[in-house]
Chain A
Amino acid sequence: MKIVQSEILIARHFRKSIFKNPAIYIITAFIGILLLYAAFTGWDNYKSQNETSEKYQHESREDWLKNPDKNPHRMAHYGNFAFRKSTPLSVFEFGMEPFFGNAIFLEAHKQNTANFSEAGFSNSMLRFGEISIAMVLQVLLPLLIFFLGFNAIAYERENGTLKILLTQGINWKQLLIGKTLGIASVIMLLFVPTIIVLVLVWLFLQNFSITADETVKMLLFILFHLAYLLFFCVIAVLVSAISKTSKKALITLIGIWLLFTVILPRTTQAIGAYIYEAPSKIQFNSDIEKDILKEGDSHNPNDPHYKAIKDSLLLVYKVDSVQQLPFNYSGFIMTEGEKISSRIYNEHLAALLKIYKKQNSFSKTVSFLNPYIAIKNLSMGLSNTDYESYIDFQKQAEDYRYAMAQKMNALQIKYISNTKSDKPKIIGKEHWAEVDEFHYEPEKIGTVLKNEIVSIISTLLWIAALFILIRIASHKLKAI
């Protein structure tokens, strides 16, 4: 019991000394303002993003249903839209959102790109980074921790007070833990209010009707950030303890911060992108076109693939021309064509995504060396603003597109006359409602955790490493 008391005493004392510096009030006030600004812009962004995307999703759905009686293939070309929606946590962590396309036009035969990303409409300013709560928590607070903590032990050593402390029965472990708690208690003055505001905003955004999934994500978001910040408190104290002078401690800590938050994230990703070069869009598209032609061209009456289908159909139904078939032949051929072209597209896409995955593997692995990347990946995963979420959005959109196109083909096969009659080749508008509205379902917590398993393991390892480091340090450190 007595041991804990002396640690708290050290913590309290250190905290007092931190508050003796008037600069701390300015910095705290400033970071507070920044957090509010970040919360406000995040909220504003989230609201306008979701409002517009909901508005147009709804509008385009109404337009779809309002279409008069017509040929189902016309409807397949009329198409639908997939608009991307954000999750509540993305108010705090923008992640890759600015680089995501916000709308995909979904039509028959063709996989369109996700267009209108924020980045495409921005000046290079965006590339300097964004102010979000996550950025403040992950980038600025660690630096603040370093600024507060570089003095922790090095200053006592410079002053000669370290020896006095150690001779008065305080051991190294108590000193390290006490100082860490001291910094942590100052940081908590920023962290706790932030989390309270965060939770309130988060509740408010969902009108206080929260799902279990969102709650777990939120809790993990808070927990991981807490662990992350504590980690930096320990690092600050340890570096301060091994440095001869406070200046050396400061410079080392600044170096660590720069390496973790600025240099490593960029370089590792750049190395990945340099080694695994992705194909250009032109190449990607022309490869797909070539493969589709190889497989068979549905427009070509003499194409062997489609001729074989035709011959077998004629044989089964015992007729001599496609006009005599009991169903719409061109609808049948389009179904086949769509099946082939989407299969080929998906194969090429899978190959492309594999390259991307390899590119990302570098920075993912580096999370074992860099806690910043670990927490960044985790928080992006939890807020569904990471790479996997985007790919998932595109996949959901493509699945919807395929289902829609094939539904229209099925309607054509079933209802459109096969002969050259005078009857107009149209079907009733009531069929349009048979295609459901596009609804994007963000990845659930289970999937997120599975995707980010590397980051989770590395965060756990980092925490374990800290305990070990404190243990080793308390045995090896010397007063001078």
Chain B
Amino acid sequence: MLSLLFKNFIRSKGTKIGLLFLLCIGFISLLIGKQFQDKQEKSIQEATIYQKEHIARNAAFHKDEIGLLLYYIKFSLVNNTFPINSLAIGQRDVNPSIQNVTIRGLEGQKYDTELNNPNNLLSGNIDFSFVLVYLFPLLIIAFSYNVISEEKESGTWKIVATQSQNTFKYILQLFYVRILSLIALFTVLLFTAVLFLNIPLDQSFFVFFGIGILYILFWFVVCFFIVSLQMHSNVNAVSLLTIWLFLIIIVPAGINAFIVNKYKIPEALELTITQRNAYHEKWDTDKNETMEKFYKHYPQFRTYKLDEKAEFTWLWYYAMQQMGDDESAVQSKELETKLEQRNRTSELIAQFIPTLHTQIQLNEIAKSDLHNQLLFLKKTTQFHEKLRLHFYPKIFKNEAVDQQKWENYKVETFKDATEISFLKAFMPLLLFIFVLIGFGWRNFNRLAA
């Protein structure tokens, strides 16, 4: 029986076209993922070469003053791109994966953006997560909106009903065939991705896989529920497409508008202005005042005294730069808090919206979500502070430039080690699946009775 149902399903022209279309666009998404991966790798390689050349060139040039040299040279921190990132590019196209900073004020450098064509950002990537989140449901709907109703409309349902002992089991078998073929398609695509993009078969991958399967099941269960209401095919199609539209466009967009309006961030602009003024006004204020503030922040550098006679010293200069950061710390902290609130609220709400939840979880696994970006920004601050603490004494002592081992300053990498929570990843989807199955079952039983 099952094999007959399967043959019947797969023989339809619509099925073949649908599966083929999804397979093709799935492969395209992998190509796009590959290009993204290559570009990331190339950038990192370039950053490594560039930093080496850049430091060597500047060190050869400004060999007399280490203070001046460090005014110029930039150090890179890379946000590690895991291979699985190519499946869910997420926010990695908007946010830079490499930060280049000098040891001067950080706040003016931290939020520098990636070079981007806004048109690409607006239309979005065709990465694998897009295929899964947007397109799989469409095919699921196309395959199942007319289960039963089609047979009823063409008059064959009565024959089926009289010939099989258990019509509910028959319906389940119809779904079983469809579920199996789409899960097979998903698996084929994902394992192709493993080979093509060198994705390691680790925990992240299997959670990704698991979420994908649950997401597909979720949509089948939605269809099962709508079919259980036993309406006309047209009504089913309209209802299912409307549900898709809600879950994919309207609700996420509505929530986004809510979050953006609730947590507005004028702090971002305030921060840049404060930071600029705090540094620049020090040129015209009492030097000792600035130095006193600096010593308060770094008591260990109190031993380095200002040369009263000199009009300009690097000690004073970097103390001024430091004040730019110190005096805008409040705004910086506020901005950070707001962004964390945005992230938390959206994750919280997303648990109730399966599409959003899936997308956010996939991005989290791929380390391409807002959370990752916030961690990277934090790490950038630490990286910058480490460089400062390392170079400040050298500058204040005016150590010889050629005595430093410049070739030792390599590009550093930040690896996001956020653990994946199984409960958070799977629970919301599982709940939705069980609830909808329950309701669907009840509908079938009620109508059969």
Residues of A within 8 A of B (CB): 34, 37, 41, 44-45, 48, 52-53, 55-56, 59-60, 63, 67-68, 70, 74, 77-79, 81, 83, 95-96, 99-103, 105, 112-131, 135, 139-140, 143, 147, 150, 246-247, 250-251, 254, 258, 262, 265-267, 269-270, 272-274, 277-284, 286, 289, 293, 299-300, 352, 356, 359-360, 363, 387, 390
In the complex where A56-B273, A63-B277, A129-B253 touch, is A74 in contact with B283 (Cβ < 8 A)?
yes
Can you give 21 A-B contacts (C-beta < 8 A)? A45-B260, A60-B273, A81-B272, A99-B118, A101-B113, A105-B276, A117-B94, A120-B113, A121-B370, A123-B259, A123-B370, A254-B237, A269-B119, A270-B126, A273-B120, A278-B115, A281-B96, A283-B46, A286-B46, A289-B54, A356-B117
Asked if B284 is at the interface (CB within 8 A of a chain A CB), the reply is: yes
Query: Which single residue of chain B is at the shortest CB-CB distance from A299?
Result: B61
Asked if B356 is at the interface (CB within 8 A of a chain A CB), the reply is: yes
In the complex where A123-B370, A250-B234 touch, is A280 in contact with B261 (Cβ < 8 A)?
no
Residues of B within 8 A of A48 (CB): 264, 266
Having A131-B257, A247-B233, one finds 11 other A-B pairs with CB under 8 Å, namely A112-B112, A120-B94, A123-B343, A124-B363, A128-B256, A128-B355, A246-B234, A247-B146, A277-B35, A280-B115, A282-B100
Q: Closest 5 interchain pairs by CB?
A: A128-B252, A269-B123, A356-B117, A280-B43, A96-B118
Most chain B CB within a 10 A radius of its CB, from A70, A122, A274: A122
Query: Which single residue of chain A is at the shortest CB-CB distance from B127?
Result: A270
In the complex where A37-B254, A124-B363, A128-B249 touch, is A115 in contact with B125 (Cβ < 8 A)?
no
Asked if B257 and A41 make an inter-chain contact with CB atoms under 8 angstroms apart, the answer reads yes
Asked if B83 is at the interface (CB within 8 A of a chain A CB), the reply is: no
Most chain A CB within a 10 A radius of its CB, from B47, B57, B117: B117
Q: Which of B217-256 contact A (CB under 8 A)?
A: 233-234, 237-238, 241, 245, 248-250, 252-256
Query: Which single residue of chain A is at the shortest CB-CB distance from B232?
Result: A247
Q: Tell me which of A53, A99, A114 contacts B122 (CB under 8 A).
A: A99
Asked if B121 and A59 make an inter-chain contact with CB atoms under 8 angstroms apart, the answer reads no
Asked if A121 and B265 make an inter-chain contact with CB atoms under 8 angstroms apart, the answer reads yes
CA distance A289 to B280 in the complex (A): 26
Residues of B within 8 A of A99 (CB): 94, 116, 118, 121-122
Residues of A within 8 A of B268 (CB): 102-103, 115-116, 121
CB distance from B187 to the nearest CB of A (A): 23
In the complex where A128-B356, A267-B126, A283-B46 touch, is A78 in contact with B257 (Cβ < 8 A)?
no
CA distance A250 to B146 in the complex (A): 13
Q: Tell me which of A52, A117, A267, A274 contacts B113 (CB under 8 A).
A: A117
Asked if B346 and A125 make an inter-chain contact with CB atoms under 8 angstroms apart, the answer reads yes
Asked if A122 and B256 make an inter-chain contact with CB atoms under 8 angstroms apart, the answer reads yes
Asked if A269 and B269 make an inter-chain contact with CB atoms under 8 angstroms apart, the answer reads no
CA distance A45 to B260 in the complex (A): 9
CB distance from B267 to the nearest CB of A (A): 10
CA distance A191 to B63 in the complex (A): 70
Query: Which single residue of chain A is at the shortest CB-CB distance from B370?
Result: A123
Asked if B248 and A128 make an inter-chain contact with CB atoms under 8 angstroms apart, the answer reads yes
Asked if A122 and B342 make an inter-chain contact with CB atoms under 8 angstroms apart, the answer reads yes
CA distance A78 to B31 in the complex (A): 46
CB distance from B132 to the nearest CB of A (A): 13
Asked if B96 and A360 make an inter-chain contact with CB atoms under 8 angstroms apart, the answer reads no
Query: Which single residue of chain B is at the shortest CB-CB distance from A48?
Result: B264
Asked if B113 and A250 make an inter-chain contact with CB atoms under 8 angstroms apart, the answer reads no
Asked if B111 and A115 make an inter-chain contact with CB atoms under 8 angstroms apart, the answer reads yes
Residues of A within 8 A of B82 (CB): none
Asked if B42 and A269 make an inter-chain contact with CB atoms under 8 angstroms apart, the answer reads no
Query: Which single residue of chain A is at the shortest CB-CB distance from B138?
Result: A258
Query: Which single residue of chain B is at the shortest CB-CB distance from A264?
Result: B123
Asked if A262 and B134 make an inter-chain contact with CB atoms under 8 angstroms apart, the answer reads yes
Asked if A352 and B115 make an inter-chain contact with CB atoms under 8 angstroms apart, the answer reads yes
Asked if B119 and A103 make an inter-chain contact with CB atoms under 8 angstroms apart, the answer reads no
Asked if B123 and A70 make an inter-chain contact with CB atoms under 8 angstroms apart, the answer reads no
Q: Tell me which of A103, A280, A289 contacts B269 (CB under 8 A).
A: A103
CB distance from A443 to the nearest CB of B (A): 15
Asked if B339 is at the interface (CB within 8 A of a chain A CB), the reply is: yes
CB distance from B436 to the nearest CB of A (A): 22
CB distance from B5 to the nearest CB of A (A): 22
CB distance from A31 to the nearest CB of B (A): 10
Residues of B within 8 A of A140 (CB): 245
In the complex where A99-B94, A123-B369, A286-B50 touch, is A266 in contact with B115 (Cβ < 8 A)?
no
Asked if A115 and B113 make an inter-chain contact with CB atoms under 8 angstroms apart, the answer reads yes
CA distance A203 to B23 in the complex (A): 50
Asked if A278 and B276 make an inter-chain contact with CB atoms under 8 angstroms apart, the answer reads no
In the complex where A127-B124, A128-B253, A129-B249 touch, is A115 in contact with B259 (Cβ < 8 A)?
no
CB distance from B346 to the nearest CB of A (A): 4
Query: Which single residue of chain B is at the shortest CB-CB distance from A254?
Result: B241
CB distance from A424 to the nearest CB of B (A): 9
